[in-house]
Amino acid sequence: MSGFAHSEIYQVLVRRKPEGELQLIGAVHAPTHELAMLYAAWTYDEETWAELQVVRRDGSREAAFSVSSSQAAEAKEKGAVS
- The reported pLDDT for the residue numbered 57 is 86
- The reported pLDDT for the residue numbered 41 is 92
User: Among 41, 33, 40, which residue's Cα sits nearest to residue 73?
Assistant: 41
| Per-residue pLDDT tens digits of the chain, which is 82 residues long | 455 568 899 999 999 999 999 999 999 999 998 999 999 999 998 888 899 999 998 755 555 455 666 666 665 565 554 3
Give the global pTM.
Answer: 0.67
Decide: helix, strand or coil at residue 58: coil
- The reported pLDDT for the residue numbered 53 is 92
Decide: helix, strand or coil at residue 3: coil
Q: Which of 26-63 are b and which e, b meaning 16 or more Cβ less than 10 Å from the residue's Cβ?
A: ebbbbeebebbbbbbbeebeeeebebbbbbbeeeeeeb
| Amino acid residing at 58 | D
